[in-house]
Amino acid sequence: MTLANWRKALETFLNDWQGRDEVVGALVCGSYVTGHPSERSDIDVHIILSNDVKWRERGNQIVDGFLIEYFANPPGQIRRYFQDDFNKHRTMSMVQFQTGQILFDYTGIIKELKLEAYAWQEKNYETINKTVLELKKYGLWDMLDNTKDCYEQKRGDFIFVYHHALATLFMEYGQFLNVDTIPTYQIHAYLVDPIYLQKYMKSAFPDEHFKQMFLHALKESNTEQMLESLEALVSYVLKQMGGFCIDDWHVKSPIEG
């Protein structure tokens, strides 16, 4: 297997789908289209079904040594993915359609979905309301307090707890800044690799000071310095969020239901 042969494997895979009456289009996306695939990259394929189809399918198939991950959906389901991703501050489905290559499009629906994907990505996320923001600030303080407790007890899971705290902090601060949600395994690439930004259509992280502090914290190996780095990061983020003091902290809000 060589990376150059991926299109041949894709054509072989599509032979089982393209002739079906309910299939109206297909789009390929991912690293083989946007560039810089690795030996572990899969070929992502969206198969578009007709509007009257009442089912969807997701699966994987190895063809000529290439792992093909496919998603078969009617257009309405794709639109629901756009909405759901936007609600969760994600852009995965939109970026796939924006950067993907149309393989065939019998009805023009993929062109429509591409335009809709661009429109979704131009929308602004809602600002976090005051009550939710206060709860998030408390959550960050509590996370740091639990990490300190883990360190002081010399527990064997401190390193795990520390890195989990860093991931949580990045996610919460990113949401506060209205930054797209970044998968944990891609955070480092997002912060340091300009190719990542281009490939996934991301803007650079807007807080350079936090970025440098965070990258420094990722490299720490001494447990005492790790805790100091985390505490500095949490203190900085809480200040950016408007400040926080645990003494007399309280939140009043309507009951549910």
Q: What does the DSSP assignment read for 172-228?
A: HHHHHTTPPP--GGGHHHHHH-HHHHHHTT-PPPS-HHHHHHHHHHHH--SHHHHHH
pLDDT at 257: 77
- Which among 117, 139, 120 is positioned nearest to 128, based on CA atoms? 139
DSSP SS3 for 155: coil
pLDDT at 3: 62
Distance between CA atoms of 133 and 242, rounded to whole angstroms? 9
pLDDT at 253: 85
Name the helix (H) or strand (E) containing 105. strand 101-105
pLDDT at 2: 60
Distance between CA atoms of 128 and 147, rounded to whole angstroms? 26
Query: What is the full per-residue pLDDT of the chain (257 aa) written as tens digits?
Result: 566 689 999 999 999 999 899 999 999 999 999 988 888 899 999 999 999 999 999 999 999 999 999 999 999 999 999 999 999 999 999 999 999 999 999 999 999 999 999 999 999 998 899 999 999 999 999 999 999 999 999 999 999 999 999 999 999 999 999 999 999 999 999 999 999 999 999 999 999 999 999 999 999 999 999 999 999 999 999 999 999 999 999 998 888 87
The pair of three-digit structure tokens given for residue 56, joined into one six-digit string: 């969807």
User: pTM higher than 0.75, yes or no?
Assistant: yes
- Which among 105, 54, 59, 98 is positioned nearest to 77, based on CA atoms? 54
Name the helix (H) or strand (E) containing 71. strand 66-73
